[in-house]
Structure 1
């Protein structure tokens, strides 16, 4: 089954493109990092499959470990962290950092933590923002853990009605610069329709803002690999699809 941002595959919304890599085709991974417990980020069927086919630990914000244990993940494979706590996994340093969002499944709200992740090796650093509105905390994360060779920043599902939940593309550029980012790779767009803006609007706005502010971005096709040291030029491939 494919993960969906709702409790049911029947409710939807549907994906705009297939899953780039099936779970069974994944190589053995070193870590599985979760940002929060919303359905499109924490999928029961996916977790159960990864528990069977992988040996890697799950790194999760506080409270999410209880979900995983109920779903059959052994306790020794669960690493729960509060903001600013860290763990060493696979030769990398994972730091749970702040985000502006919320959590909840079914009728529950905010009984587990949400967050972002710093992944730091000996010579490279990556920041994954998870889901978040823009907030001043990015400057502090950049000062404490940056600069970053790559930032994975959400750019879609925004609306003036919920500015504290999802940032817009211009705010993603602001956050990237606050973090001391070198290359910005946009995420959280193109897969599901979760807001009223047109499908390609997030990446078009991002591309304009990046050009105006001399920010380097990479916009891979779904499933395409990116080498942060030699990212290809942006081609506008989405313009041929919509």
Structure 2
């Protein structure tokens, strides 16, 4: 009998391993050889990799022993002590001049001058090539993907799993008719997953697309989306930086929005502010920072500084909405530390900040009363 139970347990273990590994090759995405033809010729592409324009290290030299110790002793520090509140906001039939609905982490539905832009959509339970192993959500998805209205474009900042999700992209191909705007090389991943070629637009830093030119004009207006420089890295497997990373500017006739995606602090923000701003709304990452990878992930104080840069030196212009926190445990700081530090730094700088719950829609023209819903949660 013991042998039977042992055999059954072993069989279950093998089954679990097979299930965990089944979709990994497809989820990782395109091969380097499939990506390379779309990368060659870019100014920052050399030796088969993209590079930041500022010296940048993905990890400070000598950090591995400390990182392993943190992984053993602090892996649960970033979990909240209480359930994270959700707010499934109703979306208006017509997109506003300026609004944003935050679905958690870096996923946001941006409304600007009557257009809707979906940024870094991730609806999966885990940000991993495996559906069974990897960082899992700290809160449920606040609304099903099927409830989204028709969007005018999907923008992707880079190919890390917490920003580029195969299952969500495939669902959007079926449920939406929108084009996908991606930095150079990421189109190869989309092609690998069956996204039609005519719906893929790959851009280098500084390149722009007019939605009116794509036949998506709204009420006689246009929205120009520009792929802007970020300071980060890429990679879905063992090889890094085969695809480009980026932020995005969304410029309409009356409003301007900047989506930071994921980035370390960079002079490129001030350059974007001068060239494309000042921005009325910035969505900037505040979480998953650590002194060991400070070149490629900004901290909350740097997010406030970045907002001022994007607003051409005026920290009081526009409103900052934090992203890249609360949903996945990807670093070793406390769950609410990023937003607490952000609010304090913004108050000192005179920067207006709105911190939505996951699923909450923020309209800068009709902000809700000040709410500190994240306090006492860890």
TM range (shorter): over 0.9
**Aligned residue number for residue 368 of structure 2:** 232
3-state SS in 2 of match to 1:95: strand
How far apart, in 1, do the equivalents of 2:368 and 2:233 lie?
34
Which ranges in structure 2 are unaligned for 5 or more consecutive residues? 1-122, 217-221, 312-316
Instruction: Determine whether 1:215 maps to 2:360.
Output: no
TM-score of the two chains, using structure 2 as the length reference: 0.62
**Aligned residue number for residue 149 of structure 1:** 280
Higher gyration radius (CA): 2
Q: Which stretch has the larger CA shift, 82-91 or 196-205?
A: 82-91
Which of the residues 280, 304, 322 maps onto 1:173?
Answer: 304
- Conserved 8 A contact 1:60-1:78: yes
Q: What whole-Å deviation, never above 9, does each CA across 1:213-234 have from its counterpart, x for those lacking one? A: 1110000110100002232343
How far apart, in 2, do the equivalents of 1:67 and 1:54 lie?
18
How far apart, in 1, do the equivalents of 2:196 and 2:239 lie?
24
Tell me the CA shift for residue 240 of structure 1.
4.7
**Aligned residue number for residue 34 of structure 2:** none
How far apart, in 1, do the equivalents of 2:146 and 2:371 lie?
31
How far apart, in 2, do the equivalents of 1:44 and 1:183 lie?
31
Instruction: Determine whether 1:19 maps to 2:137.
Output: no
**Aligned residue number for residue 115 of structure 1:** 246
Q: What whole-Å deviation, never above 9, does each CA across 1:112-168 have from its counterpart, x for those lacking one? A: 100000001110000001100001111100000000010000000000000111100
Paired residues, what number? 242
**Aligned residue number for residue 36 of structure 1:** 158
3-state SS in 2 of match to 1:60: strand
**Aligned residue number for residue 323 of structure 2:** 187
How far apart, in 2, do the equivalents of 1:97 and 1:234 lie?
32
- Conserved 8 A contact 1:3-1:39: no
TM-score of the two chains, using structure 1 as the length reference: 0.97
How far apart, in 2, do the equivalents of 1:67 and 1:93 lie?
24
- Conserved 8 A contact 1:61-1:81: yes
Q: Which stretch has the larger CA shift, 107-116 or 19-28?
A: 19-28
Q: Which stretch has the larger CA shift, 9-18 or 152-161?
A: 9-18
Instruction: Determine whether 1:160 maps to 2:296.
Output: no
Instruction: Determine whether 1:47 maps to 2:151.
Output: no
- Conserved 8 A contact 1:3-1:40: no
- Conserved 8 A contact 2:180-2:199: yes
How far apart, in 2, do the equivalents of 1:187 and 1:48 lie?
24
How far apart, in 2, do the equivalents of 1:145 and 1:3 lie?
35
Q: What whole-Å deviation, never above 9, does each CA across 1:13-62 have from its counterpart, x for those lacking one? A: 12111112211111111100000001111111111100011100000000
Instruction: Determine whether 1:131 maps to 2:255.
Output: no
- Conserved 8 A contact 2:247-2:261: yes
Higher relative contact order (CA closer than 8 Å, sequence separation 6+): 2
Q: Which stretch has the larger CA shift, 16-25 or 114-123?
A: 16-25
How far apart, in 2, do the equivalents of 1:21 and 1:9 lie?
20
